[in-house]
Structure 1
Amino acid sequence: MRFSRSLATVSDEAVCAEGSAAISHDWTSRREKVIVLGSGWGGYIFSRRLSNKQYDCTVVSPRSYFVFTPLLTDTAAGKLDFSSIVEPMRDRRSRTDYIQAAAREVDFKRKTVLCEATVVKSGVTESPRVEESERQFEEGPDTGKFRGQQHLRKWEVGQMFEIPYDKLVIAVGCVSETFKTPGVRENAFFFKDIGDSKRVKRRVRETFELAVLPNTDEEMQRNLLHFAIVGGGPTGTELAATLRDFICDDMEQLYPAVKGKAKISLYDIAPTVLSMFDKSLSQYAMETMKKEGIDIKTSHHVESLRWGLPNTPGPHEMDPKGCLTLRTKEEGDVGIGMCVWATGNAMNKFVKYSLDTVDEFPSSSAVIEGAGKDNNRASPEEGKWKVKKAPKIGALLVDGHFRLQLENDKGQTAVLQDVFAIGDNAMPETGAPPATAQATSQEAKWLADRFNKRDFDKVPGFSFHNMGSLAYIGSSNALMQIPHEETPAGSGKRRNPYLPEGLTGRTAWLVWKLAYLSMGMSWRSRSRILFRWIINRLFGSDVSRF
């Protein structure tokens, strides 16, 4: 397929000037060449599990590391160092290759991926804070006069090159969905990557310093120290709880002049938080967090976010020395010092636009459903082909074995035998698992095993195995939901029949600690996490601002 000229940050002339540079990897290897797009849960785990004896694997991602996202909230509160929850893509213990670049288009016919190097590109480690209509890709400057105008900063344009593949795995994940709420993309903080957590960590400490300045009045103090988190899922709930612990245990001790003035509000459009848990567990979470002082604002509709004091006339220009105003349908204007947007997933621009129409049908690798093995070719007369996607969210619709599908305007479907998609950017037609790290990691392991055993035609499609859910709710309390669904379906036998429906309180918190510690990707990260938890008990969390 060809990438739309209107969306490309680099013109055809620029590509020619840079040249489709041949990278220095051994593409003459007899092993099949597997290209993995993305270094998140799907791409990282798949590449590490893939047999290096059978495959020559290369990960292509603008981010040169993997993030253990369940503990990202701890880094924002200074409970963990950022290095404790990341695994570098370049590792002496792994034979997987890595290229720091972003995929720009895929040619299914020629079996190549066009990439742009992102080694010196800004905005790679954090969520874009520019509306989609303003930005060309998901990386680039998001502040100042070059906001959304990467093409005006010549050095932002990376080298362009093509990478051939025998098999391609797409695991680029999602970006934050703002539902086009005015001011959110520009003024809110998101929480998906290390750069996002650094922004939150810095702003929390910044608001306390601003609040204790001699010329800050009490109203502004309360506005600055009001932290709003939008999204009552596991990420938003755990962030609210972790920040509450940090403020009560550390910040208020260091800033006695504003003790008792800090406030955390958790907003969600749903009637409950943690709606994926059983009703009793969700209710327990809300009651516990309210007792700890967190203001739970369910059934609230956020209408806008802007800088400036509440109920004041505009214009309102960005001024981090002051507060923001969050407007909801139910409360009107509310002054806050920071808003973290932790709700909603949207397809990134690569999936949304690059993986769309197909210029040339890949007849050598696509099988048309119902055509049979000897009649799987399609001619231009059979209609225009495009990548098959979910109607509303735009995720890549894959079959039960995560193979990418094409469709034409005549209702035909073709299954690509050499292109796969896993994670939040993909949706199996046989039944979509939840958009969680647990589900993505299972998909990655299952797909890698199919590659290694070469048994796609011998095994049934992927089936998600629910291992339970965990959520931290503050003050050393947590929730754990234990799965009890029937297995196999309709057998009348339940999984874990001798265990309770769930755990709460300190017991669940200990399980939460042990589970995430054991899930660390390496002994190095596990050791760092355990060591920092011990240090925090002795000396408190890191309160530095940089």
Structure 2
Amino acid sequence: MPARPIGALRSRRIQCTSLRPAVRSRADTGQCKPVFCTTTSNLLPDRSYATRIEHTEASPTSDVQKERVVILGSGWGGYTMSRRLSPQSFSPIVISPRSYFVFTPLLTDAASGSLDFSNIVEPVRDPHAKVDFIQAAARSIDLKKKTVLCEATVVKSGVTETPRTSDDDKELNDSHEAKSKHPTQDYRWWEQGEMFEVPYDKLVIAVGAVSRTFGTPGVRDNAMFFKDIGDAKRVKRRVRECFELAVLPTTTPEMREWLLHFAIVGAGPTGTELAASLRDFIYKDMMVLYPALNGIPKISLYDVAPKMLSMFDESLSQYAMETMKREGVDIKTSHHVEGLRWGSPGDPPPYEMDPKRCLTLTTAEEGEVGVGMCVWVTGNAMNKFISQSLDKVADFPTESVKPDSTPAVNDENSSWKFKKVSKTGALLVDGHLRVQLQDHNGQTAVLQDVFALGDNAMPETGSPPATAQATGQEAKWLAQRLNKSDIDRMPSFSFKNLGTMAYIGSERALMQIPHDGKTGDRHRYLPEGLTGRTASLVWNAAYIGMSISWRNRIRIAFRWTLNRLFGRDISRF
């Protein structure tokens, strides 16, 4: 048999772990050993992989010279990166708890019934893409061995929703005892997935972020978040649920008003578009079915800032506020949320979860207010993988460190940690999106085979906005650099602002056109921004064009046409 290069053996290595007792071990030593497989054998050995990677398009038997690029996450960063890597040079593997990519700009349309959820989802597994996939969550990284420890999530509940724990809930952890104290984290023994290690030649960390609650009491357990398909489905179902509860003969007039009060906390683009979409759906479709409730439904948009859409120019922000107020959305800026609990305003404790009744939202300015639903869309926080697992480095990865990054790399006795942003906890990468390590003396070592992008990373050369546009640009830039093998010869990544859009209801939108000097003269004669129906047409065309596949582009355009003819989907399931 011809000899194989060392890189090929490493890329095909399967490591066993102590958490996987069923994996075959050597009888003479009783210890777990690396297992090497050949595709010519009819007797395949036991594997600790969740998928037979050697039998997929990502790594056929003839591709032993390709570098294995492990990508953590299937969002804007991970999905875009996997599709942009050259299949002639790399063998990409996406590892993610969810098996799909979500086109998040249209998540609000799906929640309000304007689109089917399948219209904004792209499967990671695609017969036309030479990309492998493992449905699992990364738990830790061994930089020395160049492996990622993963837990299978195929049968784990809640992977399509925002996690109910994050770094701002310090007292929570993954133990059985902690979960028993929090009903949102029900523990089922069979949900503990199998543990396995995946080797990599290059690693891209794009796991995203979770919603930040700022430690507000009751929010993590009782609010709804809005980052994934599961979150949007919960919002869609709860709106319809509140209407059905409101028309029950046993519902009091006071409870009816509370149930039909929908609160959204966070007046950024996501919160604004969600409020606008819900307003359109309720007033144009739901009120036709519930005429007895006419005049009762209410939508409130809360934010601690003095204005909504703070990233837009003052004139555009003011236009959005005036338009949405005129359309019936109650804009409550400069409001500080202090708590969220189940039960009516003024009820004494204990406050137990009861979806048949309302919740109480407490603000410093208004006190207690009854609401049927509270959607929380304020800021990002790092998930536990970034904040806890990527902390101290057990063994210094000498071979992975960029030779000219620091003279301290030879001191392997130093205490090294992942370099992070002190305020947010995000990975602080260099201008080329490479992950960095830092010792107790403050010296830095740059890893030449580990990269991070998206909401879980921040380039030290300048932080782009936390938007899908910025994450997509980072993924495209990094994939191009790896394809051309010129990352050390090229300037640092630079974000190009292509404009910002937001839907504000009643077929009106905003569009801010960049005039920052970096776009040259091509925008010289364009206005500062567009508003109204003109901006709405641009909004529709842009998001149809940005959708990943032609299949979904056609389905989105067709569904919007059907909505004009027959109205939105009002089913509850």
Q: TM-score range by the shorter chain?
A: over 0.9
Q: Deviations over 1:402-457 (max 9, x none)?
A: 00000101221000000000000000000010000000000000000001001012
TM-fit CA distance, 1:14 = 4.0
Pair 1:259 & 2:294 matched: yes
Counterpart Cα distance in 2 of 1:250 and 1:426? 41
Asked whether the 8 Å contact 1:60–1:98 carries over to 2, the reply is: yes
2:85 is aligned to 50
Pair 1:242 & 2:277 matched: yes
Q: Name the SS of the counterpart of 1:266 in structure 2.
A: strand
2:524 is aligned to 497
1:25 is aligned to 53
TM-fit CA distance, 1:292 = 0.3
Amino acid in structure 1 at the alignment position of 2:53: H
Match for 1:468 among 479, 499, 509?
Answer: 499
Counterpart Cα distance in 1 of 2:450 and 2:126? 26
Amino acid in structure 2 at the alignment position of 1:379: D
TM-fit CA distance, 1:18 = 6.5
Q: Name the SS of the counterpart of 2:483 in structure 1.
A: helix
Q: Deviations over 1:262-282 (max 9, x none)?
A: 000000000000000000000
Q: Name the SS of the counterpart of 1:424 in structure 2.
A: helix
Match for 2:410 among 372, 378, 383?
Answer: 378
1:448–1:532 Cα change, 3 Å: same
Q: Report the TM-score when normalising by structure 2.
A: 0.88
Asked whether the 8 Å contact 1:368–1:413 carries over to 2, the reply is: no
Asked whether the 8 Å contact 2:184–2:221 carries over to 1, the reply is: no
Asked whether the 8 Å contact 2:408–2:443 carries over to 1, the reply is: no
Counterpart Cα distance in 2 of 1:95 and 1:143? 42
Match for 2:214 among 179, 196, 217?
Answer: 179
Counterpart Cα distance in 2 of 1:142 and 1:201? 27
Pair 1:445 & 2:485 matched: no
1:221 is aligned to 256
Q: Name the SS of the counterpart of 1:529 in structure 2.
A: helix
Amino acid in structure 2 at the alignment position of 1:452: N
1:413–1:210 Cα change, 3 Å: same
Match for 2:567 among 537, 540, 543?
Answer: 540
Counterpart Cα distance in 2 of 1:135 and 1:98? 30
Match for 1:313 among 330, 348, 351?
Answer: 348
TM-fit CA distance, 1:365 = 1.2
Amino acid in structure 2 at the alignment position of 1:199: R
Amino acid in structure 2 at the alignment position of 1:419: V
Pair 1:454 & 2:480 matched: no
Pair 1:115 & 2:150 matched: yes
Amino acid in structure 1 at the alignment position of 2:438: E
Counterpart Cα distance in 1 of 2:409 and 2:350? 60
Asked whether the 8 Å contact 1:484–1:495 carries over to 2, the reply is: no
TM-fit CA distance, 1:369 = 5.3
Amino acid in structure 1 at the alignment position of 2:111: A
TM-fit CA distance, 1:313 = 1.6
1:35 is aligned to 70
TM-fit CA distance, 1:370 = 5.7
Asked whether the 8 Å contact 1:129–1:142 carries over to 2, the reply is: no
Pair 1:521 & 2:548 matched: yes
1:135–1:532 Cα change, 3 Å: farther
Asked whether the 8 Å contact 1:210–1:321 carries over to 2, the reply is: yes
Counterpart Cα distance in 1 of 2:78 and 2:278? 30
Q: Name the SS of the counterpart of 2:203 in structure 1.
A: strand
Asked whether the 8 Å contact 1:387–1:407 carries over to 2, the reply is: yes
Counterpart Cα distance in 1 of 2:173 and 2:65? 37
Could you tell me which runs of 5 or more consecutive residues in structure 2 were left unpaired when the two chains were aligned. 1-16, 25-31, 33-46
1:137–1:288 Cα change, 3 Å: farther
Asked whether the 8 Å contact 1:367–1:376 carries over to 2, the reply is: no
TM-fit CA distance, 1:145 = 7.6
Q: Deviations over 1:436-491 (max 9, x none)?
A: 00000000000000010010121100000000000000000000000011137xxx
Counterpart Cα distance in 1 of 2:385 and 2:369? 36
1:148 is aligned to 185
Asked whether the 8 Å contact 1:129–1:187 carries over to 2, the reply is: no
1:16 is aligned to 21
Asked whether the 8 Å contact 2:344–2:360 carries over to 1, the reply is: yes
Query: 1:240-389 to 2 correspondence within 5 Å?
Result: 240-367=275-402, 371=406, 377-381=409-413, 383-389=414-420
Pair 1:436 & 2:467 matched: yes
TM-fit CA distance, 1:78 = 0.6
Q: Deviations over 1:172-230 (max 9, x none)?
A: 00000111101111111000000000000000000000000011121111100000000
Asked whether the 8 Å contact 1:32–1:55 carries over to 2, the reply is: yes
Q: Which moved more, 1:502-511 or 1:409-418?
A: 409-418
Amino acid in structure 2 at the alignment position of 1:46: M
Pair 1:421 & 2:452 matched: yes
Q: Which moved more, 1:168-177 or 1:22-31?
A: 22-31
Counterpart Cα distance in 2 of 1:502 and 1:145? 46
TM-fit CA distance, 1:525 = 0.8
1:325–1:146 Cα change, 3 Å: closer
1:133–1:407 Cα change, 3 Å: closer
TM-fit CA distance, 1:376 = 7.0
Counterpart Cα distance in 2 of 1:292 and 1:137? 45
Asked whether the 8 Å contact 1:63–1:124 carries over to 2, the reply is: yes
Amino acid in structure 2 at the alignment position of 1:89: V
Amino acid in structure 1 at the alignment position of 2:357: G
Counterpart Cα distance in 2 of 1:370 and 1:498? 45
TM-fit CA distance, 1:71 = 0.2
Counterpart Cα distance in 2 of 1:142 and 1:210? 30
Asked whether the 8 Å contact 2:341–2:359 carries over to 1, the reply is: yes
Q: Name the SS of the counterpart of 2:455 in structure 1.
A: coil
Q: Name the SS of the counterpart of 1:367 in structure 2.
A: coil
Q: Deviations over 1:216-269 (max 9, x none)?
A: 121111100000000000000000000000000000110011111000000000
Amino acid in structure 1 at the alignment position of 2:358: C
1:161 is aligned to 196
